[in-house]
Protein backbone atom coordinates (compact mmCIF):
# COMPACT_ATOMS: atom_id res chain seq x y z
CA UNK A 1 0.00 0.00 0.00
CA UNK A 2 1.28 3.48 -0.79
CA UNK A 3 1.52 6.21 1.87
CA UNK A 4 -1.64 8.22 2.53
CA UNK A 5 -1.11 11.77 1.28
CA UNK A 6 -3.48 14.56 2.29
CA UNK A 7 -6.58 14.95 0.10
CA UNK A 8 -5.94 11.62 -1.59
CA UNK A 9 -8.76 9.18 -2.34
CA UNK A 10 -8.25 5.62 -1.09
CA UNK A 11 -9.16 3.20 -3.87
CA UNK A 12 -8.92 -0.46 -4.71
CA UNK A 13 -7.20 -1.18 -8.00
CA UNK A 14 -8.46 -4.40 -9.60
CA UNK A 15 -6.35 -5.66 -12.51
CA UNK A 16 -7.98 -6.38 -15.87
CA UNK A 17 -6.42 -7.40 -19.17
CA UNK A 18 -6.21 -3.69 -20.02
CA UNK A 19 -5.26 -1.52 -17.05
CA UNK A 20 -7.05 -1.63 -13.71
CA UNK A 21 -10.55 -0.96 -12.49
CA UNK A 22 -10.53 1.74 -9.85
CA UNK A 23 -13.10 1.57 -7.05
CA UNK A 24 -13.42 3.90 -4.06
CA UNK A 25 -12.77 1.78 -0.97
CA UNK A 26 -16.25 2.58 0.34
CA UNK A 27 -17.81 0.50 -2.46
CA UNK A 28 -15.84 -2.64 -1.65
CA UNK A 29 -16.88 -5.15 1.02
CA UNK A 30 -14.11 -7.67 0.87
CA UNK A 31 -11.55 -9.32 -1.39
CA UNK A 32 -11.68 -13.10 -1.09
CA UNK A 33 -9.69 -15.96 -2.56
CA UNK A 34 -11.24 -17.84 -5.44
CA UNK A 35 -14.07 -20.04 -4.25
CA UNK A 36 -16.63 -22.27 -6.00
CA UNK A 37 -18.54 -20.37 -8.67
CA UNK A 38 -21.84 -22.04 -9.56
CA UNK A 39 -23.09 -21.29 -13.09
CA UNK A 40 -26.56 -19.76 -13.48
CA UNK A 41 -28.22 -20.68 -16.79
CA UNK A 42 -30.11 -18.00 -18.67
CA UNK A 43 -27.66 -15.21 -17.90
CA UNK A 44 -25.28 -13.17 -20.07
CA UNK A 45 -21.89 -14.63 -20.91
CA UNK A 46 -20.11 -12.20 -18.60
CA UNK A 47 -22.01 -13.61 -15.59
CA UNK A 48 -19.71 -16.37 -14.35
CA UNK A 49 -22.31 -17.56 -11.84
CA UNK A 50 -22.72 -17.07 -8.13
CA UNK A 51 -20.58 -17.83 -5.12
CA UNK A 52 -21.42 -18.04 -1.45
CA UNK A 53 -19.84 -15.21 0.49
CA UNK A 54 -20.36 -15.57 4.26
CA UNK A 55 -23.33 -17.77 3.40
CA UNK A 56 -24.86 -15.15 1.09
CA UNK A 57 -25.30 -15.92 -2.64
CA UNK A 58 -23.55 -13.26 -4.71
CA UNK A 59 -23.50 -12.92 -8.52
CA UNK A 60 -19.94 -13.07 -9.88
CA UNK A 61 -19.24 -11.13 -13.06
CA UNK A 62 -16.29 -10.74 -15.40
CA UNK A 63 -15.82 -7.04 -16.05
CA UNK A 64 -13.11 -8.01 -18.58
CA UNK A 65 -15.81 -9.72 -20.65
CA UNK A 66 -18.39 -6.99 -20.09
CA UNK A 67 -15.93 -4.35 -21.31
CA UNK A 68 -14.87 -6.44 -24.30
CA UNK A 69 -11.32 -6.85 -23.01
CA UNK A 70 -11.54 -10.66 -22.96
CA UNK A 71 -13.85 -13.25 -24.49
CA UNK A 72 -13.44 -15.76 -21.64
CA UNK A 73 -12.51 -15.57 -17.98
CA UNK A 74 -11.00 -18.90 -17.01
CA UNK A 75 -8.28 -17.93 -14.58
CA UNK A 76 -10.07 -16.42 -11.59
CA UNK A 77 -7.66 -15.72 -8.75
CA UNK A 78 -9.55 -13.35 -6.48
CA UNK A 79 -13.15 -12.24 -6.07
CA UNK A 80 -13.95 -8.66 -5.10
CA UNK A 81 -17.27 -8.48 -3.25
CA UNK A 82 -19.02 -5.14 -3.74
CA UNK A 83 -21.77 -3.42 -1.78
CA UNK A 84 -25.19 -3.29 -3.49
CA UNK A 85 -25.56 -0.54 -6.08
CA UNK A 86 -27.67 2.47 -4.98
CA UNK A 87 -31.39 1.74 -4.86
CA UNK A 88 -30.95 -2.02 -4.87
CA UNK A 89 -32.02 -4.51 -2.18
CA UNK A 90 -29.79 -4.76 0.88
CA UNK A 91 -28.86 -8.32 -0.13
CA UNK A 92 -27.92 -7.48 -3.74
CA UNK A 93 -24.18 -7.73 -3.27
CA UNK A 94 -22.30 -8.52 -6.46
CA UNK A 95 -18.74 -9.61 -7.06
CA UNK A 96 -16.05 -9.05 -9.66
CA UNK A 97 -13.68 -11.83 -10.67
CA UNK A 98 -10.07 -10.93 -11.28
CA UNK A 99 -7.06 -12.86 -12.54
CA UNK A 100 -4.55 -11.07 -10.23
CA UNK A 101 -4.39 -9.61 -6.75
CA UNK A 102 -6.12 -6.23 -6.28
CA UNK A 103 -4.05 -3.47 -4.68
CA UNK A 104 -4.90 -0.57 -2.40
CA UNK A 105 -3.83 2.81 -3.73
CA UNK A 106 -4.27 6.47 -2.95
CA UNK A 107 -5.12 8.71 -5.86
CA UNK A 108 -4.15 12.31 -5.24
CA UNK A 109 -4.30 13.69 -8.75
CA UNK A 110 -5.30 11.97 -11.94
CA UNK A 111 -5.35 13.01 -15.56
CA UNK A 112 -8.01 11.74 -17.92
CA UNK A 113 -6.72 9.85 -20.91
CA UNK A 114 -7.97 7.72 -23.76
CA UNK A 115 -4.56 6.30 -24.55
CA UNK A 116 -4.33 2.52 -24.50
CA UNK A 117 -8.08 2.01 -24.35
CA UNK A 118 -8.55 0.66 -27.87
CA UNK A 119 -11.16 -2.08 -27.97
CA UNK A 120 -12.71 -1.07 -24.66
CA UNK A 121 -16.53 -1.01 -24.62
CA UNK A 122 -16.91 2.61 -23.49
CA UNK A 123 -20.61 2.37 -22.64
CA UNK A 124 -19.73 1.13 -19.14
CA UNK A 125 -16.81 3.51 -18.58
CA UNK A 126 -17.26 6.84 -16.78
CA UNK A 127 -13.64 7.91 -17.22
CA UNK A 128 -10.15 6.68 -18.00
CA UNK A 129 -7.26 7.84 -15.84
CA UNK A 130 -3.55 7.96 -16.48
CA UNK A 131 -2.17 6.58 -13.22
CA UNK A 132 1.50 5.95 -12.37
CA UNK A 133 0.55 2.25 -12.34
CA UNK A 134 -0.98 2.43 -15.83
CA UNK A 135 -4.49 2.90 -17.18
CA UNK A 136 -7.20 3.34 -14.54
CA UNK A 137 -10.77 2.51 -15.52
CA UNK A 138 -13.63 4.12 -13.58
CA UNK A 139 -16.90 2.36 -14.28
CA UNK A 140 -20.20 4.08 -14.99
CA UNK A 141 -22.31 2.55 -12.25
CA UNK A 142 -25.60 3.81 -13.68
CA UNK A 143 -24.88 1.95 -16.92
CA UNK A 144 -23.74 -1.08 -14.92
CA UNK A 145 -26.92 -1.07 -12.83
CA UNK A 146 -29.13 -0.75 -15.92
CA UNK A 147 -27.43 -3.76 -17.51
CA UNK A 148 -27.28 -5.82 -14.34
CA UNK A 149 -30.93 -5.39 -13.46
CA UNK A 150 -32.69 -4.94 -16.79
CA UNK A 151 -35.16 -7.61 -15.66
CA UNK B 1 -52.67 -27.20 3.48
CA UNK B 2 -51.05 -30.51 2.87
CA UNK B 3 -52.12 -33.13 0.40
CA UNK B 4 -50.82 -35.36 -2.32
CA UNK B 5 -53.06 -37.04 -4.86
CA UNK B 6 -52.21 -39.27 -7.78
CA UNK B 7 -53.80 -40.62 -10.94
CA UNK B 8 -52.83 -43.60 -13.04
CA UNK B 9 -52.26 -44.04 -16.75
CA UNK B 10 -51.25 -47.30 -18.43
CA UNK B 11 -50.97 -48.91 -14.98
CA UNK B 12 -48.38 -46.40 -13.76
CA UNK B 13 -48.57 -43.30 -11.63
CA UNK B 14 -49.01 -40.65 -14.26
CA UNK B 15 -49.55 -37.52 -12.27
CA UNK B 16 -49.12 -36.15 -8.80
CA UNK B 17 -50.94 -33.17 -7.34
CA UNK B 18 -48.90 -31.45 -4.68
CA UNK B 19 -50.04 -28.90 -2.16
CA UNK B 20 -47.44 -29.27 0.55
CA UNK B 21 -45.74 -26.40 2.28
CA UNK B 22 -42.10 -26.95 3.16
CA UNK B 23 -41.54 -29.27 0.24
CA UNK B 24 -39.72 -28.51 -2.96
CA UNK B 25 -39.55 -29.98 -6.40
CA UNK B 26 -36.01 -30.68 -7.47
CA UNK B 27 -35.85 -30.21 -11.22
CA UNK B 28 -32.84 -31.63 -13.02
CA UNK B 29 -31.93 -30.63 -16.57
CA UNK B 30 -28.54 -31.62 -17.98
CA UNK B 31 -25.82 -30.38 -15.62
CA UNK B 32 -28.15 -28.05 -13.69
CA UNK B 33 -30.60 -28.53 -10.84
CA UNK B 34 -33.27 -26.14 -9.63
CA UNK B 35 -35.84 -25.99 -6.86
CA UNK B 36 -39.45 -24.94 -7.14
CA UNK B 37 -41.51 -24.40 -3.99
CA UNK B 38 -44.58 -26.57 -3.79
CA UNK B 39 -46.57 -24.00 -1.80
CA UNK B 40 -48.26 -23.64 -5.14
CA UNK B 41 -50.47 -26.40 -6.45
CA UNK B 42 -48.26 -28.31 -8.79
CA UNK B 43 -49.22 -31.14 -11.05
CA UNK B 44 -46.51 -33.53 -12.16
CA UNK B 45 -47.17 -35.39 -15.40
CA UNK B 46 -45.24 -38.12 -17.14
CA UNK B 47 -44.30 -37.65 -20.78
CA UNK B 48 -46.53 -40.46 -22.05
CA UNK B 49 -49.65 -38.67 -20.81
CA UNK B 50 -48.92 -35.46 -22.72
CA UNK B 51 -49.30 -34.31 -26.31
CA UNK B 52 -45.79 -33.55 -27.45
CA UNK B 53 -45.12 -31.04 -30.20
CA UNK B 54 -42.44 -28.80 -31.56
CA UNK B 55 -42.84 -25.14 -32.41
CA UNK B 56 -41.10 -22.84 -34.81
CA UNK B 57 -37.41 -22.66 -33.95
CA UNK B 58 -37.43 -26.20 -32.58
CA UNK B 59 -38.95 -25.26 -29.23
CA UNK B 60 -40.23 -28.43 -27.58
CA UNK B 61 -43.63 -28.11 -25.96
CA UNK B 62 -46.05 -30.52 -24.36
CA UNK B 63 -49.75 -30.09 -23.69
CA UNK B 64 -52.07 -31.55 -21.14
CA UNK B 65 -55.63 -31.51 -22.34
CA UNK B 66 -58.32 -31.75 -19.65
CA UNK B 67 -61.95 -31.30 -20.55
CA UNK B 68 -62.05 -27.77 -22.00
CA UNK B 69 -58.65 -26.68 -20.83
CA UNK B 70 -55.24 -27.02 -22.38
CA UNK B 71 -52.07 -26.50 -20.37
CA UNK B 72 -48.80 -25.97 -22.18
CA UNK B 73 -45.32 -26.79 -20.90
CA UNK B 74 -42.01 -25.65 -22.38
CA UNK B 75 -38.61 -27.28 -22.11
CA UNK B 76 -36.72 -25.55 -19.28
CA UNK B 77 -33.25 -26.14 -20.78
CA UNK B 78 -34.29 -24.56 -24.08
CA UNK B 79 -35.71 -21.49 -22.37
CA UNK B 80 -32.54 -20.99 -20.37
CA UNK B 81 -30.23 -21.77 -23.28
CA UNK B 82 -28.34 -24.94 -22.42
CA UNK B 83 -28.19 -28.53 -23.62
CA UNK B 84 -29.93 -31.40 -21.85
CA UNK B 85 -30.95 -34.99 -22.55
CA UNK B 86 -34.43 -36.38 -23.20
CA UNK B 87 -37.15 -35.02 -20.98
CA UNK B 88 -39.40 -37.35 -19.02
CA UNK B 89 -41.73 -35.20 -16.94
CA UNK B 90 -43.53 -31.90 -16.86
CA UNK B 91 -44.51 -29.84 -13.83
CA UNK B 92 -47.55 -27.58 -14.20
CA UNK B 93 -48.08 -24.73 -11.76
CA UNK B 94 -51.83 -24.82 -11.35
CA UNK B 95 -51.98 -21.68 -9.22
CA UNK B 96 -50.53 -19.49 -11.95
CA UNK B 97 -52.95 -17.82 -14.32
CA UNK B 98 -52.81 -19.11 -16.99
CA UNK B 99 -51.38 -22.46 -15.91
CA UNK B 100 -47.85 -22.87 -17.24
CA UNK B 101 -45.55 -25.84 -17.18
CA UNK B 102 -41.94 -26.80 -17.64
CA UNK B 103 -40.54 -30.03 -19.03
CA UNK B 104 -37.38 -31.52 -17.59
CA UNK B 105 -35.29 -34.68 -17.46
CA UNK B 106 -36.15 -35.42 -13.84
CA UNK B 107 -38.53 -33.87 -11.34
CA UNK B 108 -38.83 -35.18 -7.81
CA UNK B 109 -40.18 -34.05 -4.48
CA UNK B 110 -37.76 -33.26 -1.66
CA UNK B 111 -38.35 -32.09 1.86
CA UNK B 112 -36.53 -28.94 2.84
CA UNK B 113 -34.16 -30.28 5.51
CA UNK B 114 -34.02 -28.38 8.81
CA UNK B 115 -30.49 -27.22 7.96
CA UNK B 116 -31.53 -25.84 4.59
CA UNK B 117 -32.26 -22.14 4.25
CA UNK B 118 -33.49 -20.15 1.29
CA UNK B 119 -31.42 -17.00 0.91
CA UNK B 120 -32.80 -14.24 -1.33
CA UNK B 121 -30.79 -13.82 -4.49
CA UNK B 122 -31.03 -11.50 -7.47
CA UNK B 123 -28.96 -12.72 -10.35
CA UNK B 124 -27.50 -9.99 -12.54
CA UNK B 125 -27.51 -10.03 -16.33
CA UNK B 126 -30.62 -12.08 -17.00
CA UNK B 127 -30.80 -12.95 -20.72
CA UNK B 128 -34.55 -12.99 -20.93
CA UNK B 129 -35.17 -9.51 -19.61
CA UNK B 130 -38.44 -9.09 -17.76
CA UNK B 131 -38.77 -10.58 -14.31
CA UNK B 132 -35.99 -12.86 -13.06
CA UNK B 133 -36.72 -16.58 -13.07
CA UNK B 134 -34.73 -16.96 -9.85
CA UNK B 135 -35.74 -15.82 -6.40
CA UNK B 136 -33.19 -17.40 -4.12
CA UNK B 137 -30.58 -19.99 -3.37
CA UNK B 138 -31.13 -22.87 -0.99
CA UNK B 139 -28.03 -23.20 1.12
CA UNK B 140 -27.66 -26.42 3.03
CA UNK B 141 -26.50 -30.01 2.85
CA UNK B 142 -25.66 -31.24 -0.62
CA UNK B 143 -24.50 -27.88 -1.95
CA UNK B 144 -26.41 -24.78 -2.97
CA UNK B 145 -29.33 -24.89 -5.42
CA UNK B 146 -31.04 -22.00 -7.16
CA UNK B 147 -34.76 -21.58 -6.43
CA UNK B 148 -37.06 -20.70 -9.32
CA UNK B 149 -39.56 -17.88 -9.04
CA UNK B 150 -43.08 -18.89 -10.04
CA UNK B 151 -44.03 -15.52 -11.52
CA UNK B 152 -40.72 -15.10 -13.32
CA UNK B 153 -41.07 -18.58 -14.76
CA UNK B 154 -44.62 -17.87 -15.90
CA UNK B 155 -43.49 -14.68 -17.61
CA UNK B 156 -40.64 -16.49 -19.35
CA UNK B 157 -42.91 -19.33 -20.56
CA UNK B 158 -45.45 -16.83 -21.91
CA UNK B 159 -42.71 -14.82 -23.64
CA UNK B 160 -41.26 -17.91 -25.28
CA UNK B 161 -44.70 -19.14 -26.41
CA UNK B 162 -45.59 -15.73 -27.85
CA UNK B 163 -42.51 -15.65 -30.10
Question: Strand B4-9 and strand B12-18: pairing?
Answer: antiparallel
pLDDT digits (tens, 9 = 90+) for B70-123: 899 999 999 999 999 999 999 998 877 888 999 999 998 887 655 678 899 999
Q: What is the value of pTM for the model shown? A: 0.89
pLDDT digits (tens, 9 = 90+) for A38-93: 999 999 999 999 999 999 999 999 999 999 998 888 889 999 999 999 999 999 99
Contact A151 B131 (CB under 8 A): yes
Please name each of the domains of chain A with its CATH number.
9-148 (2.40.50.180)
Residue of B nearest to A60 (CA): B124
Which positions in chain A touch B124 (Cβ < 8 Å)?
A: 43, 47, 59, 61, 94, 148-149
For chains A and B, what is the number of CB pairs under 8 angstroms? 77
B83 near A CB under 8 A:
no
Q: Return the residue in B123, B132, B147 with the most chain A beta carbons within 10 A, the one to mutate for interface testing.
A: B123
Its ipTM equals 0.86
Contact A57 B132 (CB under 8 A): no
Number of domains, chain B: 1
Domain coverage including residue B145: 4-162
Segments of chain B assigned E as strands: 4-9, 12-18, 23-29, 32-37, 42-46, 51-54, 60-66, 69-75, 89-93, 100-104, 106-111, 117-120, 134-139, 145-148
Q: Look at residue B8 and tell me whether its pLDDT is greater than 60.
A: no
Amino acid sequence: MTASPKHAVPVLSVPTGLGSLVFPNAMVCEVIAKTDIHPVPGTRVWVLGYCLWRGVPVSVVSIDMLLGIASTHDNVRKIVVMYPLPGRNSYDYYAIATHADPRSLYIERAVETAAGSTGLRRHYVASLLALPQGLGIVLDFDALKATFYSH
Amino acid sequence: MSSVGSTRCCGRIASLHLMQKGFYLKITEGPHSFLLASDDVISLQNKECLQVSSRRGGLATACLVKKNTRWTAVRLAQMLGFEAGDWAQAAFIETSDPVVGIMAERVHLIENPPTGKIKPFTVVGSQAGGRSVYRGVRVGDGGPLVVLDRDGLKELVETVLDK
